[in-house]
Amino acid sequence: MGTGRTVVSAQGLRRWLLVATVVVVLAAIPIVINVWPARAAAVDPQTLRARMAASGTQAYQGYAQSSGLLGLPAIPNLTQVTALFSTTTEMRTWYAARNRWRVDVLGPGTENDIYQTPQAQYLWDYGHSQLTRIVGDQPVRLPRAADVTPPELVRRLLSTSAGDRVEALAGRRIAGVEAAGLRLVPAGPDTTVAHVDIWADPQTGLPLQAELTARGGARPVFTTRFLEIHFSEPDASVLTPPAPRAGIGFTETQAPDILSAINQRRPDSLPATIAGVPRRNLVPGLTAADAYGNGLSSFVVVSLPGRFGREAYQQISTFGTRLDTGDAAIISTGLLNVLVTRAARRTSLVAGLVQPALLRRVASDLVVR
């Protein structure tokens, strides 16, 4: 009997080992596909850069994931923005043209969709069955998940980095595509970005993955990539928002231009220069917010009114480092740095991919003014 049990146990063990081996092999296939050496056609970095910048005409549909390690605290009224750069965001995206696309942000038990049509933009909250139609332009707005898909983020970075150097990178297999790579190296000394590594489809130039690495860092602190991609135009029905009907809440509103609303409450203008860095005047007539500097060395300054300003100052000064220069505090993440100053009942919020040393000079200038 003892021998019989030993034989049966050995046979059962071999069967389970076989099953386990098959499971491991099947589970490893996606990993092997992604790390298998890519034989992407060699593309000159400047040529690849030009193709990526012009890739806005390429239709696609896929599944993307962004991941940030910045660790920003939940600033009042900016929680969704800080979470975007401090956590992982899962996105299903469909893109036909610049004015016809859709991005679904997926979470545990939640789904929030953005539809862009030639006529308007729609927000669909699946969990609450709420559809919102947004009418009008948004000349200035806060970042959203659709801004960190690989194509959108890369095109925005390239549009502000005309003077930065590009270098060739080895190809990489991304979402089954043999992608060509390049490294963007900032020319300005004030940015926290050491380099941006980008991989794109060599023929269409569509960006498939981007990694931002901070100065002195050994690994990327923000990554966005496609896990699945198809170079085909999505069906029109996919790009059509749900029709208002029974059981679906529907509202229509003007574009929520938050900074313009702040501008109405604080009409005094920001200075022409701060810490010797010139103002860019991105939006004519907008006096309470603007960008200073160029490329990845630029930073944004916003004058915050009343209670909003007090709450932001309290939050950042609690989690950040208080500066010797008057009422000022800074949060340093290694990549994105945030400064808040308070002087003469005015609160200013400053943020950018810039060195803390530059923000300290900005703080001194704002407090004195």
Q: Tell the residue number behind the tokens 């030009």, with chain if given.
A: 50
What does the alpha-carbon distance between residue 33 and residue 222 come to, in Å, rounded to a whole number?
23
Q: Nearest Cα to 263, choosing from 368, 141, 144, 106?
A: 141
Per the CB < 8 A criterion, the answer to whether 260 and 254 are in contact is: no
With residues binned 3-state (H G I as helix, E B as strand, rest as coil), the percentages for the chain, rounded to 5, are: 30, 35, 35
Residue 156, token pair as written in the block:
């925005």
Which 3 state secondary structure label does DSSP give 112? strand
Q: What is the CA radius of gyration of the chain?
A: 24
Per the CB < 8 A criterion, the answer to whether 77 and 115 are in contact is: no
What does the alpha-carbon distance between residue 176 and residue 34 come to, in Å, rounded to a whole number?
7
pLDDT in tens, the chain (369 residues): 444 444 445 555 445 455 544 444 444 444 444 444 555 557 899 999 999 999 999 999 999 999 987 766 666 556 666 677 778 999 999 999 999 999 999 988 889 999 999 999 999 998 889 999 988 776 666 778 899 999 999 999 998 887 899 999 999 999 999 999 999 999 888 999 999 999 999 999 999 999 999 998 889 999 999 999 999 999 999 999 998 887 788 888 776 555 556 656 554 578 899 999 999 987 777 777 889 998 889 999 988 877 778 888 888 888 889 998 778 999 888 888 999 998 877 888 999 999 999 999 999 998 877
Looking at the DSSP bridge assignments, the partners of residue 254 are 135
Residue ranges and CATH numbers for the domains of the chain are 45-253 (2.50.20.10), 257-368 (3.30.200)
DSSP label of 272: S
Residue 323, token pair as written in the block:
């500066």
**How far is C-alpha 344 from the geometric centre of its chain's CA atoms?**
34
- 357 φ, ψ (degrees, to nearest 5): -60, -40
Q: Which residues contact 217 (CB under 8 A, 6 or more apart)?
A: 194, 334
What does the alpha-carbon distance between residue 208 and residue 186 come to, in Å, rounded to a whole number?
21
Dihedral of the CA atoms 210, 151, 55, 175 (nearest 10)? 70
DSSP label of 21: H
- 298 φ, ψ (degrees, to nearest 5): -85, 160
Half-sphere exposure of 278 (CA within 13 A, CB side): 5
Q: What is the pLDDT of residue 16?
A: 45
Which 3 state secondary structure label does DSSP give 229? strand
